[in-house]
Amino acid sequence: DAGITQSPRHKVTETGTPVTLRCHQTENHRYMYWYRQDPGHGLRLIHYSYGVKDTDKGEVSDGYSVSRSKTEDFLLTLESATSSQTSVYFCAISHSGGGTDTQYFGPGTRLTVL
Amino acid sequence: RKEVEQDPGPFNVPEGATVAFNCTYSNSASQSFFWYRQDCRKEPKLLMSVYSSGNEDGRFTAQLNRASQYISLLIRDSKLSDSATYLCVVLGGATNKLIFGTGTLLAVQP
């Protein structure tokens, strides 16, 4: 299995509070991604990173920010959590970011915003 | 219209059966196609890529029909361990990012 961990694995928080999710990899892959998965939707890309301090928006980036200060860590922050951000969040990594490059996923974080 | 559409199922089949899933995609410029497998409450994992000529990996066969813009996954001799959600994934033509279908749930019964 790819060396990807996510923390926390489960979190319950209240509306309006800030939340930071962490993705950590030991593979030294350049590309990292944050997705959310909700019933009735496929995984949707929130943000991605193509190197240290290099990030870009995905399909559903509103309400989220990211940071990558080291190759191995990619942080996702909900500045002020809302109930619509209740979801399962997956981090993924890939070596080159090319379309045919396999993405490896972390175990996910289940976030509930009350 | 969603970019990638799948029948959500569930497909309930007995052990040993052959089952097929289809997936349609809307962007004719899409170039890369994949099937991922996701077990309940787990992360998705790549099952196989789908090539224009079709490809086979053991009991699994994937095919691409560009003219009709669909891909298929055939599972022969189903095992209990095949029970999972199968995600159809297409490389977005404009964004060069993966677009995931909502998945098809397969339940193999003993």
Closest CB from A44, A58, A105 relative to B43? A105
pLDDT tens for each residue of B76-93: 999 999 999 999 999 876
pLDDT of residue A101: 76
Tokens matching residue B107: 């339940």
The alpha carbon of residue A108 and the mean position of all alpha carbons in its chain are separated, in whole angstroms, by 9
Task: List CB contacts (< 8 A) between A60 and chain B.
Answer: none
pLDDT of residue B93: 62
Distances (CA, A) of B80 to B83, B85, B106: 6, 13, 10
Query: Are B49 and A100 an interchain contact pair (Cβ–Cβ within 8 Å)?
Result: yes
Question: Helices then strands (H, E): number in chain A?
Answer: 0, 11
Question: Chunked in runs of 10, what are the mean pLDDT values of chain A (114 residues)?
Answer: 90 97 95 94 93 93 97 97 98 80 92 98
Residues A15 and B21: their CA atoms lie apart, in Å, by 40
Q: Nearest residue of A to residue B93 by CA position?
A: A99
What is the pLDDT confidence band of residue B31, given thresholds at 50, 70 and 90?
A: confident
Residue B51 has pLDDT above 90, yes or no: no
